[in-house]
């Protein structure tokens, strides 16, 4: 465990150094590092808490308002430091996002401000261009407003084990979890008994021994004929129970119980709440409770009566386990696939991270990584459907995404409104 912690800390240190190096080399300030903090300190603020842009006597305060409404631009105009009517100003804002996509906004006057004609989608991370016309004069500004963004050299990200892939369609499987127990399949279990009562002369096999069908397991002397006869194995398999010893009197009780370990089943208990969804023929992934072994099977048969103690129907799935690892009596967990659907866009579940109040992944464009806030649909242990926040074909981090999050958070990601 100590080694794992040290390894993680080392990776974070590598990324920290790499990100700092990239910023110095490419002069890419405003990536939520010291450059951005310095820029934020220098940026003038208006009475509404927004960024105050000035050109001569004219000023424009740029805010993103989202209290009770989807995020929208609100611009407050000033002349010589005093508010002017928004009806006298025409303005436009263009946002260039990572990857080149441009969002354009036009504005209309409302109360004492101009309001944008669209939603400012998350993340609020972009290069901003603002233009405004007032009293026959044109004004223009540009600045960077980044959040949840960092730049890491390719060599450093490779060393840290960061991997990515393109987002696209996936098969989302809806599952129902069931519990069960491993047992021998019907016909894979048998007992060896004495044909006639008598004294047991010898028993040649013990619990755990593998035997072949017809192999002699014991010798018994008949009480009636005083002749000895052989007790043989009815099936090939393993001795799972021995019920007598030499010198005992053999009667109706089994001398041996045998089972074929190559013919096993998992019996799952299906409660009433799941009976409308779970059906014969459905795929089930069987997992050992210790998490070590998994095997895929199908629900073959449903027993026709309920178990009295649990009031459940037993659904039986054959187990083909040539490499062993499955034993009668084991408790197992099953995930039954009750529905499958191909969705147009999904990401790997282990790529998800938490950022502010969102579930996110981190998009990758060149050596730059940026947060993507997601609207989530259906999810499984492997895949998560994406309804909003990511585009088909967009590259995102799939392995060690927590390192990207750590590198962004250490620099104090801002949310510039």
Same domain? 115 vs 90: yes
- Is 2 part of any domain? no
- Tokens 């999810």 sit at which residue? 379
Domain extent, residue 405, equals: 151-172+342-410
User: Is there a contact between 77 and 106 (Cβ–Cβ < 8 Å)?
Assistant: no
User: How is residue 274 annotated by DSSP?
Assistant: G
- Is 351 part of any domain? yes
Question: Nearest 5°: CA angle at 157, between 154 and 162?
Answer: 125
Same domain? 98 vs 35: yes
User: How is residue 121 annotated by DSSP?
Assistant: P
User: Is there a contact between 32 and 145 (Cβ–Cβ < 8 Å)?
Assistant: no
User: Is there a contact between 365 and 405 (Cβ–Cβ < 8 Å)?
Assistant: no
E-state strands within 185-293? 189-192, 198-203, 210-211, 216-222, 228-232, 237-242, 249-250, 256-259, 264-270, 283-288
Same domain? 48 vs 130: yes
Tell me, what's the pLDDT at 173? 87
Rounded to whole angstroms, the Cα distance separating 43 from 416 reads 11
Tell me, what's the pLDDT at 293? 77
Rounded to whole angstroms, the Cα distance separating 72 from 93 reads 12
- Is 388 part of any domain? yes
134: tokens are 């007032």
User: Is there a contact between 53 and 45 (Cβ–Cβ < 8 Å)?
Assistant: no
Which CATH number is 223's domain given? 2.40.50.100
Helix (H, G, I), strand (E, B) or coil at 245: coil
- Is 4 part of any domain? no
362: tokens are 């981190």
For the chain, the domain total comes to 4
- Is 286 part of any domain? yes
Q: Could you tell me which of 182, 172, 384, 171 has the C-alpha nearest to residue 297?
A: 182
Last residue of a domain, one of 320, 339, 358: 339
Same domain? 74 vs 196: no
Same domain? 217 vs 348: no
- Is 1 part of any domain? no
Same domain? 90 vs 21: yes
- Is 3 part of any domain? no
Tell me, what's the pLDDT at 321? 66
- Is 415 part of any domain? no
Per-residue pLDDT of the chain (417 residues; tens, 9 = 90+): 443 434 444 454 444 544 444 443 333 333 333 334 444 456 899 999 999 999 999 999 999 999 999 999 999 999 999 999 999 999 999 999 999 999 999 999 999 999 999 999 999 999 999 999 999 999 999 999 999 999 999 999 999 999 999 999 999 988 899 999 999 999 999 999 999 999 999 999 999 999 999 999 999 999 999 999 999 999 999 999 999 999 999 999 999 999 999 999 999 999 999 998 999 999 999 998 877 778 899 999 999 999 888 899 999 999 986 556 788 999 999 999 998 899 999 999 999 999 988 999 999 999 999 999 999 998 888 899 999 999 999 999 999 999 999 999 887 655 555
Q: Which helix (H) or strand (E) holds 11?
A: helix 2-26
Rounded to whole angstroms, the Cα distance separating 314 from 3 reads 45
User: How is residue 282 annotated by DSSP?
Assistant: -
Q: Could you tell me which of 320, 277, 25, 58 has the C-alpha nearest to residue 154?
A: 25
Helix (H, G, I), strand (E, B) or coil at 54: strand
Rounded to whole angstroms, the Cα distance separating 233 from 77 reads 96
For residue 356, the tally of other CB atoms under 10 A from its CB is 13
297: tokens are 């099977």
Examine residue 123 and say whether the peptide bond preceding it is cis (omega within 30 degrees of 0). yes
Start-to-end C-alpha separation, the chain: 42
For residue 308, the tally of other CB atoms under 10 A from its CB is 7
Same domain? 134 vs 82: yes
Which CATH number is 161's domain given? 2.40.420.20
Same domain? 109 vs 38: yes
HEC string of 138-204? EEEEEEEECCCEEECCHHHHHHCCCEEEECEEEEEEEEEEEEEEEEECCCCEEEECCCCCEEEEEEC
Same domain? 180 vs 270: yes
Same domain? 17 vs 92: yes
49: tokens are 């808490």
The dihedral built from the CA positions of residue 293, 328, 179 and 296, taken in this order, carries a sign that is positive
């Amino acid at each position: 465990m100590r080694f794992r912690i040290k390894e993680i800390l080392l990776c974070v240190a590598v990324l920290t150094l790499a990100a700092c190096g990239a910023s110095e080399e490419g002069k890419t300030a405003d990536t939520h590092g010291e450059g951005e903090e310095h820029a934020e300190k220098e940026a003038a603020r208006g009475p509404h808490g927004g960024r105050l842009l000035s050109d001569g006597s004219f000023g424009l305060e740029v805010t993103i308002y989202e209290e009770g409404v989807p995020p929208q631009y609100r611009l407050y105009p000033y002349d010589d430091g005093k508010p002017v009517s928004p009806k006298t100003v025409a303005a436009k804002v263009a946002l260039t996002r990572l990857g080149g996509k441009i969002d354009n906004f036009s504005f209309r006057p409302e109360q004492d401000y101009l309001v944008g004609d669209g939603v400012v989608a998350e993340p609020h991370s972009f290069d901003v261009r603002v233009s405004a016309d007032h009293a026959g004069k044109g004004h223009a500004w540009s600045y960077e407003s980044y959040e949840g963004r960092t730049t890491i050299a390719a060599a450093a990200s490779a060393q840290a084990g960061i991997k990515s892939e393109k987002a696209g369609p996936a098969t989302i499987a809806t599952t129902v979890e069931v519990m069960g127990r491993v047992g021998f399949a019907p016909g894979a279990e048998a007992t060896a008994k004495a044909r006639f009562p008598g004294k047991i002369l010898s028993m040649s096999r013990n619990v755990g021994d593998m035997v072949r069908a017809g192999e002699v397991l014991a010798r018994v002397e008949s009480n009636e004929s005083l002749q000895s006869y052989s007790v043989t194995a009815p099936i090939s398999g393993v001795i799972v129970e021995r019920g007598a010893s030499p010198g005992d009197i053999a009667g109706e009780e089994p001398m041996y119980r045998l089972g074929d370990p190559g013919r096993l089943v998992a019996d799952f208990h299906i409660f009433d709440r799941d009976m409308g969804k779970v059906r014969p023929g459905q795929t089930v992934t069987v997992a050992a409770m210790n998490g070590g072994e998994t095997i895929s099977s199908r629900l073959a048969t449903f027993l026709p009566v309920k178990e009295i103690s649990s009031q459940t129907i037993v659904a039986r799935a054959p187990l083909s386990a040539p490499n062993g690892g499955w034993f009668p009596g084991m408790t197992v967990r099953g995930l039954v696939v009750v529905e499958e659907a191909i969705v147009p866009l999904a990401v790997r579940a282990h790529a998800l991270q938490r950022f502010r109040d969102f579930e996110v992944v981190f998009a990758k464009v060149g050596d730059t990584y940026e947060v993507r806030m997601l609207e989530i649909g259906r999810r499984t242990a492997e895949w998560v459907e994406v309804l909003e926040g990511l585009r088909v074909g967009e590259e995102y981090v799939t392995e060690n995404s927590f390192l990207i999050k750590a590198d962004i958070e250490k620099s104090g990601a801002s949310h510039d409104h």
